[in-house]
Structure 1
Amino acid sequence: MKNAATKQDVPAPKHQSFFEDVWDVVRQVPPGRVTTFGAIAKYLGTKMSARMVGWALNAVHYVQPPVPAHRVVNRLGMLSGKAHFNPPSSMQEALEKEGLVIKDDIIQDFDKYFWDPSAELSL
C-alpha cells in the first residue's frame, strides 16, 4: 500500500456539547430580535428539550465570545429567564436598548420580533 493513512494522521472530528450548540445559535440572533427556548431546541433536533436550552443559557456568564442570552424568551414572549440576570432588570433593559417594548415582562408585538432559527439558519 502506498502512503496509507494511519489512525493518528486523520484529525478527530470536533464534537460540541449541546450547550455549545445552543450558544452558537443564540450568537446568531440579530440585535432587536428574539427567539424562544423551544425554537432553539426544535432547530437543534431536540424539540422536547427547551428546558435544557434554558440551562445552557444559565451557564453563559463567563463564556467567550459572549452569548446574548437576553434575546431568548419563552413561547409567549415573556422574559421568563430574567431572574438569572444580575440585576434581573438588566434583561429588559438590554432588549429595550435594542428597540423592543416590554410591558409587564412581555415583549409587545412579539410576533414582529420573533427570529426563528429553523427559518433563518441551515444545519
Structure 2
Amino acid sequence: MIQKPEKDSNTKVTGKFYPLQNTEWVKACKELTHTQLSVLYYLRSADPYSNGMRIRASTIADELQISRQAVYKAIDALSEKAYIEKEDVEYSLKLRSRGCLCDSLENRPQLSTDGDSCKPTATVVN
C-alpha cells in the first residue's frame, strides 16, 4: 500500500511548472528516444507556459551533456512528431576565406589562392 505524505499547508513551492500528465509521459516514452525525451522535457521545463523561446542548441547540449548534432536531430524529430512547433531557423554564420571560385575570361573556373582576389558583390537571399 502506498501512503501519501501529509500536506503541510504552510509549504509553498515557488517557480515555473509544466503540468506533466501521466498519459503524456507514457506516450512520449513509447514514441521517443532517450535523447529526444531529454530535449523535449528540457524545453518544456524552460518554457512551461509555451510562450515560445529562443535558445541555442549549444546551451541545450551543454546542459544535457550531449552533442549539438544530437540536439539538432532531436529537435527535428520532435517537430516532425508534432511535440514542438519549430519556426524558421535563423543562422548566425561567418564565412571563412579559403579561396574563391572565380570565372576567368575564358569561362573556366579557377580557384583563387587568396580570398580577396574575387570582386565582392552583394548576395541577396530570400
Normalised TM-score (structure 1): 0.37
Higher relative contact order (CA 8 A, sep 6+): 1
**Larger gyration radius, structure 1 or structure 2:** 2
Normalised TM-score (structure 2): 0.36
Between Structure 1 and Structure 2, the one with more helix by share is 1
